[in-house]
Structure 1
Amino acid sequence: MSLLRVTPYRNLSTLNHIIKNIFTTHNVPKNKNYGTASSVVKSTYEDISIPNQSVTSLVLSQKDHRAESPAVTCGVSGRSYTFGMTRMLIERGAAALIGQVGLKPGDRIGLILPNIPEYVIAIHSAMSAGLTVTFANPLYTEEEITRQFQSVGVKSIVTIPLLLETALQISKKLPNYTQTINIGGEPDPGKNVLSMQALLMDNDEVDLPKVNPTDIAVLPYSSGTTGPPKGVMLTHQNLVANIVQCSHHDFNDLPAFEGPQKTVFTVLPFFHIYGFNTIMNISLYRGEHLITIPRFTPEDYLSCLIKYKPDTLFVVPSLLLFLASHPEITADHLSSVKRVLSGAAPATKNLIDKFTEKLNRDDCVINQGYGMTETSPVTMLTPFRIEQSKAGSCGRLLPSTSARLVDQTNGQDITVPYKSGELLIKGPQLMKGYFNNPKATDETIDEEGWLHTGDVAYYDDAEYFFIVDRTKELIKVKGNQVSPTELESIILEMPGVVDVAVIGIPDTLAGELPRAFVVKQPNADLTEESISNYLKPKVVAYKNLAGGVIFINAIPRNAAGKIMRQELKVFGK
């Protein structure tokens, strides 16, 4: 079992380039106009039949076809697991979580991990044991992760040696905590730390519970429209539905397990729903070889392109720009790539054209999708053979998915192509709701089951959708969602701050950067530097006030007390 040894990272800074959160979401007041038959856009594809099984049983249902083929590999260390070995370790892991760790079905377990092959084993072991998994960005501060884990009642944490001390400090603040599981490290009975390797070495005789498809599988965190991040309840059924939806033949060149095994390369994080379900789970379900790296550096990325010659790349627009513009990435390095899938934010036609120019060939398919944490995550995807005229589209509705567009000025449904409005979505991939937050759930999903995305979109006469704007207040920094309310609540704790509002300002490289407008008490000794330094240790780096701090006399608010952020955006120019 030496493959379970994880090469330790030298320090936390080595994780600084992990490409982070992908999708953003939005809560809006409920629209009581529930639409008519003429206003509902239905998928052009036939409805799917959702298998009545857990996500793990679906993902590994065809593992015998490629039992000896590689399933997941670390592109840096070369550590790898076959499909047969992956299935065996998941079964052992599930038994160990019940028998040795003492967890029970329905308990919550937290993962603080970068992208490593053992992520697959850890998360699917937990779900096979009937546990609910919540995963955190390993770059988050101790305070941020503690808030998330306290919110859902985490009873055990899985991590690596580099992040063990952080996990142990967090565990002290969690009631009814059991034990910490260390991947690639030694056990420490004195600190209640178990070794993942030791757990998997034991072949426990434990009866695994029957997992109901309606059980909550994962609790990823999303900020929604405003306010602090909330736990998104995604059931096994939600995840299974989305895997089957995305596997429709129109979105793939071949059915699962047919033809030579394909190699998929990604650095997008498994600790977010895009990396977890769209990349990890679908790659395994289709029998593909998944290559991942725990951190992004141009050197490691280039090395993997050369060594593994991937057929498929998963990217976000900023990574696509890197590939298109970095002088050391040549057409030869990308010669094996036949498909690129982009998410997080719209990749413009200009960006796609720039990447295609770098390829210097026309046999690579570039697809885009649209989704959010609350939709497991995909709701739209461009067909595998997309027409050039549709470049820039986020695609057509997945099978069993419907949409509506609502005019922002009058609240009426839009019934014609090419007219933009707020996008509403309905389908089997929609979340069960926000964990212990019915108010936020009701503000996001209306009484007829329509999820209000807060994104402004239009569709063309072939029902290809295009995202054109956002009504949401979330700030999007390189694809990562930043809640203004979260930053405001922290800054308000600072002595001398009377009021504060945070907005996103445009930035060529990052998309947006957080900027704070602060009202200070008379004679308060506050500076831009002191406020920025107060926030820095409390949040992950991309939430820092890179857009600066501006002191003003009053925050503009409407009669209801809501911050008028549009006025601040004009003020800040």
Structure 2
Amino acid sequence: MVDISPAAAVQRRARYDAAAAALVYEGRTITAGTLATTVSRLAAGLAARGLRHGDRVAFLGLNSATLFEALLAASHLGAVFVPVNHRLAADEVRHILADSGVHTLIVEENHRALAESILTEIPVRRPVLVDTDPSCPAAPAPPAVWTLLSELLSADAKRPTAVPLSDDDLAALMYTSGTTGRPKGVMLTHGNLWWNAVNVDSMVDTRPDDVNLAVAPLFHIGGLNALTLRTLTRGGTVVVRRAFDPAQCLADLVEHRVTSIFAVPAMFAALARVPGFTEADLSALRAVVVAGAAVPPRLIEDYAHTHGVLLQQAWGLTETAPFATYLPAALTLEKTGSAGLPMPYTEVCLMTPERGGLIEQPDVRGEICVRGPNVVSGYWNNQAATREAFDDAGWFHSGDVGYRDKDGHYFIVDRLKDMIISGGENIYPAEVERVLSAFPGILEVAVVGIPDPKWGETVVAVLVCEAGVEPLLEEVRDFASRQLARYKLPTRLVVAPELPRNAGGKLLKGQVRDFVVQQVTVVSD
């Protein structure tokens, strides 16, 4: 068996080059030797408190060195890492932690209150509070229910040998919202993560000594596994920022001579607006991957003409770990707008939306489907969703509509499912509609996304209300914020006398979107 454990890779790196910089976190350098030692100690502390192979370890917090230490310690023991979107509301976090059956929950102080509000409703046996991160100070006297991370790291426990891991061992559960409104746990194996790295290193100009800037959220597959994890395990340096700040990002690119970065289009657009961007020395950049939302061609052209920086578009989902296609840098301008070619060890095809057969002709639209070793096998505890997404031949049906040109390059056109992507975050209308429908006086609600110059898309709610009811935007947002993350809240309300439906009563989202764009009776901006 070939051991592809990321924990084993970090331990191996520490043996050969302990002084090398593995992480640069908020200005503090963590060497490969220090990282390996911390991971080993944390694994020992977790094992002493009952964590075993296959158990789930969740992390609730911002980007941090601790997140990587938790991921690697979980891998060390053969446990499963569950990164939780820190922007979610308590009800959403509760569902994820309950659904995953989490054993150990590691929480940063800023999210302790949220965690404490749901602790009695989730199966967690070991809530752990981070008190070792100067960038995230812990409370001076947390309640007794919490185990401090420093206690785990200082425990006098025998350090276990890293568990060898192969393709089929479960590495992580990453939750992505479903059309039913409840997040689904995508089951990512170590093989899925490893084969994505093989694909990336086969197509992208990545190197063992890369300096990767991690500013995209690490609870997303793009932030974690597009370039970051492979950089850390292959021998490079990962510069970690707790969150994306455009000015700080530009400074980091220059100061650290960053060679690789993954970000969504809105982040690259914000970076280009920073004073001094045009004069900044970005000559070290080689692997600059943009994905997660539609990429405006003008953004690609501006980067190419201003700095000679080629934004390399890719396409994929959490279920493909993340990349299924990639546009080589040399074709950035020739094929602007294309999501690229299939990755070397991944199959991509187009099928009719009704799954009636393959589409082999160029320039014909169909649903993009994927299979390969980087593609997951299904969803945690959700056979119905797995059956819906995967066919009998093993093809994963993405729900995205696209076409393939005569040269074999794929172009993304639209989504079969009415997902909204705002600032790189996936928002499913059914989830928002479910919450808004409970607002007093609202009879019907339809949620759609419309183009937004800053975020890509913004959320708009179309309401049919009882007579005399005229809800204000802030009232609706305050109501919904109890159950939904802020980025899912509507930014505009539109009142309509009725919602368009077909003869069978099905809501016609296309007509709803057209109605919104026509700016009919705006209640508030």
TM-score by length of 2: 0.89
Indicate the structure whose relative CO is greater, using CA pairs within 8 Å and at least 6 residues apart: 1
1:316 lines up with 2:264 in the alignment: yes
Match in the other structure for 1:220: 174
Native 8 Å contact 1:164 1:182 kept in 2: no
Letter in 2 for 1:554: E
1:455 lines up with 2:409 in the alignment: no
Letter in 1 for 2:150: Q
CA distance in 1, matches of 2:10, 2:372: 21
CA distance in 2, matches of 1:552, 1:397: 44
Match in the other structure for 1:47: none
Residues 387-402 of structure 1 correspond to what in structure 2 (within 5 A)?
Answer: 388-402=333-347
Q: Tell me, which stretches of 5 or more residues in structure 2 are unaligned? A: 133-137, 519-525
Native 8 Å contact 1:156 1:181 kept in 2: no
Letter in 2 for 1:398: M
Residue 189 of structure 1 deviates from its aligned partner by: 7.8
Residue 281 of structure 1 deviates from its aligned partner by: 0.9
Native 8 Å contact 2:196 2:322 kept in 1: yes
Native 8 Å contact 1:401 1:426 kept in 2: yes
Residue 207 of structure 1 deviates from its aligned partner by: 3.8
CA distance in 1, matches of 2:371, 2:167: 19
Native 8 Å contact 1:92 1:203 kept in 2: no
Match of 2:45 among 93, 96, 121: 96
Native 8 Å contact 1:72 1:80 kept in 2: yes
Residue 453 of structure 1 deviates from its aligned partner by: 1.0
Residue 385 of structure 1 deviates from its aligned partner by: 4.2
Moved more, 379-388 or 498-507: 379-388
Match in the other structure for 1:6: none
Letter in 2 for 1:238: N
CA distance in 1, matches of 2:355, 2:159: 59
Match of 2:36 among 76, 81, 87: 87
Native 8 Å contact 2:311 2:332 kept in 1: no
Residue 305 of structure 1 deviates from its aligned partner by: 3.1
Q: Tell me, which stretches of 5 or more residues in structure 1 are unaligned? A: 1-49
CA distance in 1, matches of 2:396, 2:355: 19
Residues 181-192 of structure 1 correspond to what in structure 2 (within 5 A)?
Answer: 181-184=129-132, 185=138, 190-192=143-145
Native 8 Å contact 2:3 2:164 kept in 1: no
C-alpha change, 1:159 and 1:178, in structure 2 (3 Å) is closer
Q: Percent identity?
A: 30
Match in the other structure for 1:234: 188
Native 8 Å contact 1:55 1:237 kept in 2: no
Letter in 2 for 1:565: K
Match in the other structure for 2:22: 71
TM-score by length of 1: 0.82
CA distance in 1, matches of 2:148, 2:126: 14
Native 8 Å contact 2:4 2:164 kept in 1: no
1:108 lines up with 2:56 in the alignment: yes
Moved more, 116-125 or 529-538: 529-538
Native 8 Å contact 1:317 1:345 kept in 2: yes
Residues 145-184 of structure 1 correspond to what in structure 2 (within 5 A)?
Answer: 145-175=93-123, 177-184=125-132
Match of 1:489 among 434, 452, 457: 434
CA distance in 1, matches of 2:422, 2:113: 28
Residue 409 of structure 1 deviates from its aligned partner by: 8.8
Residue 480 of structure 1 deviates from its aligned partner by: 0.7
Residues 522-561 of structure 1 correspond to what in structure 2 (within 5 A)?
Answer: 522-524=467-469, 526-546=471-491, 548-558=492-502, 561=505
CA distance in 2, matches of 1:124, 1:466: 36
Residue 383 of structure 1 deviates from its aligned partner by: 3.1
Residue 438 of structure 1 deviates from its aligned partner by: 0.9
Match in the other structure for 1:252: 205
Match in the other structure for 1:436: 381
Native 8 Å contact 1:265 1:310 kept in 2: yes
Native 8 Å contact 1:500 1:519 kept in 2: yes
Match in the other structure for 1:336: 284
Residue 127 of structure 1 deviates from its aligned partner by: 2.4
C-alpha change, 1:496 and 1:219, in structure 2 (3 Å) is same
Residue 424 of structure 1 deviates from its aligned partner by: 0.9
Match in the other structure for 2:511: 567
Native 8 Å contact 2:362 2:403 kept in 1: yes
Native 8 Å contact 2:226 2:262 kept in 1: no
Match in the other structure for 1:11: none
Match in the other structure for 1:57: 8
Residues 26-37 of structure 1 correspond to what in structure 2 (within 5 A)?
Answer: none
Match in the other structure for 2:521: none
Match in the other structure for 2:135: none
1:466 lines up with 2:417 in the alignment: no
Residue 229 of structure 1 deviates from its aligned partner by: 1.7
Residue 267 of structure 1 deviates from its aligned partner by: 0.8
Match of 1:196 among 136, 141, 149: 149
Match in the other structure for 1:19: none
Native 8 Å contact 2:107 2:127 kept in 1: no
Moved more, 297-306 or 145-154: 297-306
Letter in 2 for 1:461: K
CA distance in 2, matches of 1:187, 1:126: 27
CA distance in 2, matches of 1:494, 1:93: 45
Native 8 Å contact 1:187 1:195 kept in 2: no
Match in the other structure for 1:42: none
SS in 2 for 1:175: coil
Residue 474 of structure 1 deviates from its aligned partner by: 0.8
SS in 1 for 2:194: helix
Native 8 Å contact 1:375 1:431 kept in 2: yes
Match in the other structure for 1:23: none
CA distance in 2, matches of 1:455, 1:403: 12
Native 8 Å contact 1:68 1:84 kept in 2: yes
CA distance in 2, matches of 1:69, 1:562: 59
Residues 14-29 of structure 1 correspond to what in structure 2 (within 5 A)?
Answer: none
Q: What is the RMSD of the two structures over their aligned residues, measured on CA atoms?
A: 2.6
C-alpha change, 1:228 and 1:120, in structure 2 (3 Å) is same
Native 8 Å contact 1:230 1:435 kept in 2: yes
1:350 lines up with 2:298 in the alignment: yes
1:243-278 deviation line (CA, Å, top 9, x unaligned): 222222x42254x3xxxx332223101111111122
